């Protein structure tokens, strides 16, 4: 089991409050991603759960048991860091087994667990190598292997893929997700990359300035962001957030529309329904083949981004009409909260 509960968790460093009373319920076996901009407190929250930092206030429970004052080793959680922290002079086998040897597990039990982890991670053929003879992805897998063999109640990942190049990152993203589904062990994963969050998480926890802004599945956050911050943070390219007359027409302070929910027509055309039609000029066009991203200047409204599937022939200076999907508009009040 690995149900993790945070109750009013607060952390103050010197005079600065870095985590402002976080409440969170993480179900057993789920993959949770903490995401948010640099400095929002993701790593601090993870380290509080791990026991590497003391709480200033609040409680942490694992499977209903209060672990707030327990040292890291007493919590049954395994941490995987961005820097793999492997022992360079030891073989892969000994790196993976190290923690178990320290805990004085019987030799045959250690051998069984290492063999199983190596098989799951495709490391069986590399067990006698040293870390220096491995690729970055293989090293990361050794670090994960070391966490797996401890058979923890939960894995804590702190940006484990950020040292890898883009292709390897994408591959490891799939591997880590598949592995977690296979092991069914609760995982908390810290990243500032919202694509990683969207593709890996069962539940995403969005943090800003030490506060939890929203918790939900990737699609819940995409479809129903609770506030302007989450609306702008989740989704790439980011949601258009419009203020002024266009928002006021919809009784809102801010009106949001995702670039992929804006249709583009050449020239100046009428809306084909009661919805909005915004006429503007293309400022920039990015042709990716799979998609076309347009940056359009709409007089009186400002810049609006549109994303069209496939190739759309458009160049800077072209006049276009933008037709936002009325069903996909997001309205936010003066306090930046979603109006439902
Ligand atoms: P990043 O994505 O850049 O790693 P993060 O969201 O993980 O950021 P944290 O590392 O948790 O952010 O830091 C949150 C805030 O706490 C930051 O403002 C940071 O400067 C501050 N902080 C972190 N550790 C300490 C410390 N030991 N002493 C004082 N302040 C700290």
What residue ranges define each of the domains in the chain, with the CATH number in brackets? 4-233 (3.40.50.300), 240-332 (2.40.50.140)
Length of the chain: 340
pTM for the whole structure: 0.90
Maximum average pLDDT range among 140-149, 195-204, 270-279:
195-204
Q: What's the CA-to-centroid distance between 46 and ligand 1, angstroms?
A: 11
For the cut 80, the answer to whether the pLDDT of residue 274 exceeds it is no
User: If you ran DSSP here, which 8-state letter would residue 161 be given?
Assistant: T
Residue-wise pLDDT for 233-263, tens only, equals 999 999 999 999 999 999 999 999 999 999 9
Closest CA to 76 of 180, 152, 170: 152
Closest CA to 222 of 107, 111, 87, 330: 330
CA distance 191 to 138: 20
Comparing 148-162, 164-178, 217-231, which segment has the lowest mean pLDDT? 164-178
> Is any ligand 1 atom within 6 A of the Cβ of residue 13?
yes
Q: What's the CA-to-centroid distance between 97 and ligand 1, angstroms?
A: 32
Average pLDDT over residues 206-233: 97
Tell the residue nearest (CA) to atom 2 of ligand 1. Answer: 38
Q: What's the CA-to-centroid distance between 232 and ligand 1, angstroms?
A: 22
Q: Edge-to-edge, what's the strand order for the sheet holding 278-287?
A: 262-266, 319-324, 278-287, 291-298, 302-309
Tell the residue nearest (CA) to atom 19 of ligand 1. Answer: 39
Q: Which two tokens stand for residue 271?
A: 């809306």
The minimum-distance atom of ligand 1 relative to the CA of 40 is 6
CA distance 33 to 44: 14
């Amino acid at each position: 089991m690995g149900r993790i509960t945070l109750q009013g968790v607060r952390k103050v460093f010197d005079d600065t409050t870095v985590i402002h009373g976080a409440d969170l319920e993480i179900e057993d076996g789920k993959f949770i991603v903490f995401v948010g901009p640099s400095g929002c407190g993701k790593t601090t929250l993870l380290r509080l759960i791990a026991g590497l930092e003391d709480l200033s206030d609040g409680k942490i429970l694992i499977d209903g048991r209060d672990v707030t004052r327990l040292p890291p080793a007493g919590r049954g959680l395994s941490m995987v860091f961005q820097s793999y922290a492997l022992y360079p002079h030891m073989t892969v086998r000994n790196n993976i087994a190290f923690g178990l040897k320290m805990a004085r597990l019987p030799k045959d039990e250690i051998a069984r667990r290492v063999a199983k982890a190596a098989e799951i991670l495709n490391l069986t053929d590399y067990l006698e190598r040293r870390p220096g003879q491995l690729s970055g992805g293989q090293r990361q897998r050794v670090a994960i292997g070391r966490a797996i063999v401890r058979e923890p109640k939960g894995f804590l990942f702190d940006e484990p893929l950020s040292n890898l190049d883009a292709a390897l990152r994408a591959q490891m993203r799939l591997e880590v997700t598949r592995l977690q589904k296979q092991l069914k062990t609760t995982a908390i994963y810290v990243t500032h990359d919202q694509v990683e969050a969207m593709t890996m998480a069962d539940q995403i926890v969005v943090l800003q300035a030490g506060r939890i802004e929203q918790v939900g599945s990737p699609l819940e956050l995409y479809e129903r962001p609770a506030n302007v911050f989450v609306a702008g943070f989740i989704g790439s390219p980011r949601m258009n957030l419009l203020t002024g007359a266009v928002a006021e027409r919809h009784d809102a302070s801010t009106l949001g529309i995702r670039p992929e929910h804006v249709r583009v027509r050449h020239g100046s055309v009428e809306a084909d329904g009661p919805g909005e039609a915004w006429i503007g000029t293309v400022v920039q066009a990015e042709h990716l083949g799979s998609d076309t991203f347009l940056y359009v200047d709409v007089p009186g409204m400002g810049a609006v981004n549109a994303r069209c599937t496939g190739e759309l022939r458009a160049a800077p200076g072209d006049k276009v009409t933008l037709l936002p999907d009325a069903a996909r508009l997001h309205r936010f009040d003066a306090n930046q909260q979603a109006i439902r």
